[in-house]
Structure 1
Amino acid sequence: MIYLDLALRGGAITLLLLLAFLLWRAPISLEGRLSVVALALSETAFLIITTALPLDLHPALQSNLTLIASFTPAAITWLIVTIFLDAPGHRWPWLLASLATSIALFTHETFPDIFSLFLPMSVVLYGALLILSLRSRRDDLVDCRCRARPGFAAAIASLALLLTGGQATRFLQQDSLALALLQAVGTLVVALNFAVWLLLPDANRWPGETSSETTTRLPVQDDFADPALIAGIQSAMSAGIWREEGLTIGALARKLAVPEHRVRRAINQGLGFRNFSSFINRARIEAACAALTDPTQMNATVLEIAYEVGFASVGPFNRAFRAEFGHSPTEYRRAAQSGAFPDSEKSSPNAVNLH
């Protein structure tokens, strides 16, 4: 059984490194490539230092592998949020939490006699990632990611949650052969299925592709895009459906009397948006820009304008506005009043230069 564990770990390590090599050459974002490489390296180090058969490694090599393996929680989190959260600003809280968990793991591995927070922190982190992978589906417009979310969450976050939860409840002993085999088998199966999904020729899995079309949100020409449905969506948007607070894809689909998956595909493949929030917020921000530069509304507060265009509070409004312009609504209004940019650009998100 010990040699079976070594064979399984060898297969998993080979697959992880091959996957990292192939994706490093793929036309996806740098962050996407780095996240896969980070997970491959950290998981490889983890598989080496946790074998059922203790390896006679040089102390310096053992120490370095332990350090690299400690970043596994951060690498897992980085990969999940890179794939499933398009907005970079939404990823930082997750990355900071995962880094804290990795530091706790390193402390636990280096000083095992010291009380460690690693296991409870890991259980909370991986449980939250599992929920994130499933709940964020409601806002996702990329069809291949929507279909993959349940399996992806079950494969990666659930495996990590099972391993850490098993140790936290002492169901799995730290140095047991059962734990070692579960780590080896689970990692190999997850890596194999993940490789099959990632290597399929569909760059839409990844945010921030190198294509300029992603940045400018030009419509994507696709045989599956329904012109009549796209026209219906645009008509509903022109009628102001985006003003409804808490509008969801399901609510929009019901108003259009079409299945939800067709609305997702039309907005994603026909209009070029990757998530529903950015699609709705684009219309709201355009209306907000018009209000902020309207001389008749100079006495209206930013909060009043946020409510008027459909935001529930000023916080989400400010975040969405900064995502488009890199500046707050107040700064935008001040720049408009001082004539910092041409009138033609005052209502055009992503075209403003306030410097």
Structure 2
Amino acid sequence: MRLLFAHKFTEENYFIRCVRFNMSRSNLFWLLLFCYNILRVNTQCEIAQVCVTDISASDCFGIEQLIPNSIVHGCCPSCKQSTEDDPQTQGCDPNVSNCLPDGRYAPVQCKGDRFTGRCFCSDPKGRRIFGQMWRDQAQNMTCACSRRRAELEAEGKVVTLHCSANGDYEQLQCNSGMCWCAQARDGQPIVTPVHEEDMERLPCYSAAVIGEQYLRKCESLSIANGFIRYEQTTHGTNYLGNLASTCDYDGSYGPIQILNGIAYCTGRDGKILGAWQTPVNTMQGMNCNCARDNMIFFPERGMTLTETCQANGNYSPKQSAGSVDYCVDSDGYQTKVLDEPGECPSHATT
């Protein structure tokens, strides 16, 4: 018999792990609800987990095919006839990207060399999301938190999970009224979850780091505006507030803020960076990657950015170094050298 085992808790024993916490009956309902929600979001195999098996395509008979990520919570392969419900290739090219067995982009994508290269967090379609590290420091980077937040937000949910700068989970997590101390790699609780108003009781809580409330300034404004907009829309009135407070997954301000019809590149504190801006009606595809690299990420490493930025804070697709022209991607990394005079393709908008 072949060994098929995934390095993760099953739903059943994880549920037992949840309900065995010592707590009063008054909180049992909330804990069961919390455990249920955790189970719902942990039914897929995490990137850091692998299936222990020696099964291969040669073990499949007849018209059967080896289908990756098809059993044991999506962690293990199996032999079966291919159907429309089986995982399909998502377009990730393993020659240029880090891909999962089912063809999706892996959460961590790396570019460049060991000194100037970086690793970024990615959604399943290869689009960059919050979370990055310099390549020589990214050995343990998983992007588990950023990937999960992106998935939940794509479903239209309001999410307050906090991710660290590298896309992993911060130690203190609160969501849906419950707080817990989490493992960085998967967000699972390591102590008894408590109501948000009791988060000071958690061993991972620090008043100096967290403050009096879990939500940070940008999140508080964004979520408050969202609820006000929802209430006014529900009652048939127009929302006239500011819709442009975008936040990163660590609760800081996102790279773009809108003020009086102008989209500005901003730092983590919400302050405008340089003169990078564009009218709202031309901001499609704006990411401010170059502006933030120029003003934040490269200086933090003691480096100076040599590439040029467009007026909206994006990297200019065509760059020059002396007499050599070359093309870069939206993260500023070289894609090809121009042997003849010409232009570089514009970066795809998302």
Instruction: Answer 1 or 2: which has greater strand percent.
Output: 2
The structure whose RCO (Cα within 8 Å, separation 6+) is larger is: 1
- Which protein is bigger by CA-based radius of gyration? 1
Instruction: Tell me whether the two structures share a fold, i.e. TM-score over 0.5.
Output: no
TM bin (shorter chain)? under 0.3
Instruction: Answer 1 or 2: which has greater helix percent.
Output: 1
